[in-house]
A = this chain, B = another copy of it.
């Protein structure tokens, strides 16, 4: 199988991650920090070390790195944990995932807040100037943006948007599920929270993700349980990270992340992704029936290209690629409810998404291109 569904989850992982996961399962699968024995204490140190590795990426304090089991859980903790009032204006881009849009829909129904879609030009995909007029008119309480679209690979102008939002003291939330640890630009963004997904851009396994708290904006706890600390107290402890981390830690997934983060430090993923994306774009653009969803400046799409083929629904293309060529792509809406209107892919029932990772090759892309040409 040729695997091009890396935006859903990167595969394969580096060999060192597989080894770390197996070793952790066999030798380290204890309940960290909650016992009074050496192994449990050693695990606490390993967890701390992993927090530090995450923190180093964006120059944060390690205790502000909150581990959750998924980016969805991290976004729920932030969106449901912020304090909302009726009439608050929450801005999002048209590229957001349902892990942002569905918690927001709940907040909207509960608190009667306004969810406002930021205006993007649908040729250049730049943020429209009128966005800033909207900010002045309807001041942003909060802006939630992904660093990179999970559908089109488009790197959003988050720096520009968040900077403008900060003029109104906006609470900025960056969903970096698709690029944390890979895209160095995101480390400079003025954001209050940043979300990461271990099994995506960080080449770790399922089961580990989280967010980093980068300012003093407070979040109420939305999950409650044992923390192995202050057990006679029925309230969650106040200190971070424990405040937001009830339940036993998934030490297996954390040890995989520990290893993958060290691997990432010495691997230039983005360079490889850019090379492969450019190569793929140049091959696909000459096929007459292929429509590629990119902005004027194609280089803004990295690692992911969404396409469609005239005369086929997205699902039909996916099935043919799978059944006849053993090529795995993802088709449909990709849990992104707004973007298909923006890029005009609704009549194809979404897009055919081709997403690469560090381990893909130009030869694999050649095979994909040949397959597409038969359609």
B-facing residues in A183-236 (Cβ within 8 Å) = 199, 205-207, 221-228, 231-236
**Given known contacts A13-B29, A21-B25, is B226 in contact with A36 (CB within 8 Å)?**
no
Q: Which of A68-76, A136-144, A277-285, A293-301 contacts B (4 or more CB under 8 A)?
A: A68-76
Instruction: Contact check, B8 vs A38: say whether CB atoms are below 8 A apart.
Output: no
Encode contact with B along A328-349: 1 for CB under 8 Å, 0 otherwise. Answer: 1111111111001000000000
Instruction: Contact check, A234 vs B21: say whether CB atoms are below 8 A apart.
Output: no
B-facing residues in A3-33 (Cβ within 8 Å) = 3, 5, 8-9, 11-13, 18, 21-22, 25-26, 29-31
Instruction: Contact check, B34 vs A26: say whether CB atoms are below 8 A apart.
Output: no
Nearest chain B CB to A244's CB is how many angstroms away?
12
Instruction: Contact check, B36 vs A207: say whether CB atoms are below 8 A apart.
Output: no
For A29, give the chain B residue with the smallest CB separation: B11
Nearest chain B CB to A107's CB is how many angstroms away?
9
**Given known contacts A36-B322, A72-B226, is B250 in contact with A206 (CB within 8 Å)?**
yes
A99 within 8 Å of B by Cβ?
A: yes
For A228, give the chain B residue with the smallest CB separation: B335
Nearest chain B CB to A373's CB is how many angstroms away?
20
Instruction: Contact check, A236 vs B36: say whether CB atoms are below 8 A apart.
Output: no
Which residue in B29, B72, B223 is a CB contact (below 8 Å) of A225?
B72
For A70, give the chain B residue with the smallest CB separation: B247
Which residue in B13, B99, B247 is a CB contact (below 8 Å) of A246?
B99
Nearest chain B CB to A52's CB is how many angstroms away?
21
Complexed CA–CA distance, A29 and B253 (Å)? 13
A364 within 8 Å of B by Cβ?
A: no
Complexed CA–CA distance, A70 and B337 (Å)? 29
B-facing residues in A307-344 (Cβ within 8 Å) = 315, 318-319, 321-323, 327-337, 340
Copies in the complex: 2
A334: which B residues are within 8 A, CB to CB?
231
A39 within 8 Å of B by Cβ?
A: yes
Which residue in B199, B246, B333 is a CB contact (below 8 Å) of A102?
B246
A247: which B residues are within 8 A, CB to CB?
69-73, 99
Nearest chain B CB to A314's CB is how many angstroms away?
8
**Given known contacts A72-B246, A231-B337, is B38 in contact with A322 (CB within 8 Å)?**
yes
A231: which B residues are within 8 A, CB to CB?
98, 332-337, 350
A322: which B residues are within 8 A, CB to CB?
36-38
Nearest chain B CB to A25's CB is how many angstroms away?
5
A252 within 8 Å of B by Cβ?
A: yes
Instruction: Contact check, A73 vs B29: say whether CB atoms are below 8 A apart.
Output: no
B-facing residues in A226-264 (Cβ within 8 Å) = 226-228, 231-236, 246-253
For A331, give the chain B residue with the smallest CB separation: B36
For A10, give the chain B residue with the smallest CB separation: B29
A329: which B residues are within 8 A, CB to CB?
35-37
Known: A72-B226, A227-B335. 15 other contacts (CB 8 A): A1-B39, A5-B37, A21-B22, A21-B252, A29-B199, A29-B205, A29-B206, A35-B318, A69-B70, A98-B231, A99-B226, A101-B234, A102-B234, A105-B235, A232-B337
Please give me the 10 A-B residue pairs with the lowest Cβ-Cβ distance, nearest first. Answer: A226-B335, A36-B318, A72-B247, A8-B31, A72-B225, A231-B333, A102-B224, A37-B328, A98-B226, A69-B69
